[in-house]
Amino acid sequence: MEELFGVDISGHVTRSLSEIELEEFDWIFVLDGFVYEHLRFRLPEVRSRLVAWPIDDPFGQSLEVYRDSGKTLARLFDKKLIPPASA
């Protein structure tokens, strides 16, 4: 993240959904179809803010795969590929 975007995420830690105040987020981006469907079922109150992007999780893969995933995410954010608020 720092190399590509100048953002230091070295202090980032994974948190469970129970530790996150989901109502504070306008959008919740999900990169895995299974997780997307699970969240739609488990948390119906956030369905209208869930956005599924078909990006493979780079976990456990090479640094180059992480870079490619980051670049793909950046392109999607740049294009603002999010559904209309009424979706």
Tell me how far apart the alpha carbons of residues 53 and 74 are, in angstroms, rounded to a whole number.
12
Cβ atoms 52, 33 nearer than 8 A: yes
Query: What confidence tens digit (pLDDT) does each residue in 41-55 have?
Result: 999 999 999 988 878
Put simply, whether the predicted model's pTM sits higher than 0.75 gets the answer no
Q: Which helix (H) or strand (E) holds 5?
A: helix 2-5
Band the pLDDT of 84: cuts 50, 70, 90: low
CA neighbor of 5 nearest in space, from 60, 81, 66? 66
Parse the chain into domains and list their residue ranges: 2-78
* Average pLDDT rounded to a whole number, residues 58-77: 88
Quickly name the fold that domain 2-78 has: Rossmann fold (3.40.50)
* Average pLDDT rounded to a whole number, residues 8-17: 87
Q: Does the pLDDT value for residue 39 go beyond 80? A: yes
Tell me how far apart the alpha carbons of residues 48 and 60 are, in angstroms, rounded to a whole number.
31
